[in-house]
């Protein structure tokens, strides 16, 4: 007999557990099936540019220092004391060709020239006397002699000696006159004094190792522009057409420009820097002109060198490049594919491509965070 107490303690918990299990099983069996939903991949929006081949003028950028084409050390060719120093022979002063810069005491050289002139006169007199004696000897032999007269009898060796003394005296006179002229050091061209190492009253010697000063010509100046061998390959070295370099200087916020011909490309490679040099020349850069001021020796200039011309190349913005030589091409079905291109020149703004693109193709320019080959995109701007 089941007593109420036994029911409460034993049977009721069992009944509750069986009821809960049945309800749970019924919920599991009768639960509705969940619908499978495939998430849609979001379509990336991109901007593109349509590329077309065009003529491109390649350029090479460089920089260099302006230096005179001609610089000269003034060397004394005779020794002596400086008795005159031109006022214009000071650092930074200009001079004209033929103007006197330095004068050395000419007294000793004037005396030497006078002595040489006297020696020449004596030699000329001796030659005249010898010619007369030779004529007399020939006449005497003709009147009294028999057979062929010897050269000594006809005074031919004596005559040759007198003629040789004339030549020697003339050479000595020319040398004395040349030394006298060298006591005056004149300007060989229009120029500017760069350095002065002698002054009035100083005794100088004819020594190439002790220059009196250094000057440079104002006729022209050159700028040596360093570049790599790869950059040099962009220059047209086969064509005979004159190429030019645009030189610029930023001065007080203003940009001044000079157009200079490219006169040569040096074939030697610097063993230290592994660079070679192109050289541009400016005519009369140190003289002011109405449109621009004069340049100074040692001025630093930026340069843009005219290079080869390409007739079938593509230009795209630098930011359209993915990595070093890859772009994303938009197909006809609006999907993206990767394309490797050949770049001949690039800078911070754009790149020039010679292979890897076709006319009318669309290149993606927008940044793409997650790229998958063949991913669909939507064009928002072209």
Report the distance separating Cα 135 and Cα 141, nearest Å: 10
Q: Which residues pair with 348 in a beta bridge?
A: none
Query: Residue-wise pLDDT tens for the chain (382 aa)?
Result: 545 655 566 666 777 777 777 777 777 676 666 556 555 666 788 889 999 999 888 889 999 999 999 999 999 999 999 999 999 999 999 999 999 999 999 999 999 999 999 999 998 898 888 888 878 877 777 777 666 777 677 678 888 888 899 999 999 999 999 999 999 999 999 999 999 999 999 999 988 888 999 999 999 999 999 998 888 888 876 777 788 999 998 877 778 888 999 998 888 888 898 999 999 999 999 988 877 788 999 999 999 998 888 888 999 999 889 888 899 999 988 889 999 999 998 888 889 999 999 999 999 998 888 888 888 888 886 6
Query: Which spans in 94-248 are helix H?
Result: 107-144, 156-181, 229-232
- 262-288 in b/e burial notation, b at 16+ Cβ within 10 A? beebeeeeeeeeebbbbbbbbeebbee
> 70-73 long-range CB contacts below 8 Å, 24 or more apart?
70/189, 70/191, 70/216, 70/217, 70/219, 70/220, 71/194, 71/214, 71/215, 71/216, 71/217, 72/188, 72/214, 72/215, 72/216, 72/217, 73/211, 73/213, 73/214
- Separation of CA 61 from chain center: 10
Whether 84 and 103 have beta carbons less than 8 Å apart is answered as yes
Helix axes 107-144, 156-181, angle to 10 degrees: 170
Whether 115 and 144 have beta carbons less than 8 Å apart is answered as no
The per-residue pLDDT for 208 is 86
Q: What is the pTM of this model?
A: 0.71
The per-residue pLDDT for 328 is 92
Report the distance separating Cα 227 and Cα 233, nearest Å: 10
Whether 120 and 113 have beta carbons less than 8 Å apart is answered as no
Which residue in the block uniquely carries the two structure tokens 């370099």? 245
With H, G, I as helix, E, B as strand and everything else as coil, classify residue 299. coil
The per-residue pLDDT for 38 is 55
Write out the DSSP string of 139-162. HHHHHH--SPPPTTTTTHHHHHHH
Whether 58 and 305 have beta carbons less than 8 Å apart is answered as no
Please give the span between the terminal C-alpha atoms of the chain, in angstroms, as a whole number: 93
Any idea of the CA torsion for 103, 107, 110, 114, to the nearest 10 degrees? 180
CA-wise closest residue to 328 among 45, 51, 48 = 48
Report the distance separating Cα 71 and Cα 79, nearest Å: 23
Q: Which residues pair with 223 in a beta bridge?
A: 66, 280
The two structure tokens encoding residue 134: 């030779």
The per-residue pLDDT for 154 is 67
Whether 61 and 154 have beta carbons less than 8 Å apart is answered as no
Report the distance separating Cα 343 and Cα 334, nearest Å: 25
């Amino acid at each position: 007999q089941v007593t109420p107490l036994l029911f409460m303690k034993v049977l009721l918990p069992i009944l509750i557990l069986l009821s809960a299990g049945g309800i749970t099983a019924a919920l599991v069996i009768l639960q509705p099936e969940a619908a499978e939903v495939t998430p849609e991949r979001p379509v990336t929006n991109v901007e593109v540019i349509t590329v077309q081949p065009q003529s491109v003028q390649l350029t090479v950028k460089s920089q260099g220092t302006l230096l005179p084409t001609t610089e000269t050390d003034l060397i004394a060719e005779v020794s002596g004391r400086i008795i005159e120093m031109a006022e214009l022979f000071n650092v930074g002063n200009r001079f004209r060709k033929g103007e006197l810069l330095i004068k050395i005491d000419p007294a000793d050289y004037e005396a030497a020239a006078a002595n040489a002139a006297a020696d020449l006169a004596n030699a000329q007199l001796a030659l005249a006397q010898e010619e007369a004696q030779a004529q007399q000897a020939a006449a005497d032999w003709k009147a009294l002699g028999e057979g062929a007269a010897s050269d000594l009898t006809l005074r031919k060796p004596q005559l040759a000696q007198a003629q040789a003394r004339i030549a020697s005296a003339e050479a000595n006179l020319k040398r004395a006159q040349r030394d006298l002229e060298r006591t005056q050091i004149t300007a060989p061209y229009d120029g500017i004094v760069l350095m002065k190492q002698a002054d009035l009253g100083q005794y100088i010697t004819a020594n190439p190792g002790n220059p009196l000063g250094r000057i440079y010509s104002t006729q022209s100046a050159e700028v040596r522009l360093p570049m790599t061998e790869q950059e040099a390959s962009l220059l047209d070295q086969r064509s005979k057409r004159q190429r030019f370099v645009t030189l610029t200087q930023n001065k007080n916020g203003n940009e001044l420009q000079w157009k200079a011909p490219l006169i040569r490309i040096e074939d030697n490679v610097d063993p230290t820097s592994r660079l070679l040099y192109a050289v541009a020349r400016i005519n009369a850069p140190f003289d002011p002109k109405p449109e621009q001021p004069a340049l100074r020796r040692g001025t630093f200039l930026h340069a843009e060198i005219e290079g080869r011309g390409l007739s079938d190349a593509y230009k795209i913005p630098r930011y359209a490049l993915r990595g070093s030589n890859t772009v994303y091409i938009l197909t006809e079905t609006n999907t993206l594919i990767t394309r490797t291109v050949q770049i001949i020149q690039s800078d911070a703004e754009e790149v020039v491509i010679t292979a890897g693109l076709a006319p009318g193709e669309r290149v993606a320019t927008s940044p793409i965070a997650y790229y998958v080959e063949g991913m669909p995109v939507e064009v928002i701007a072209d």
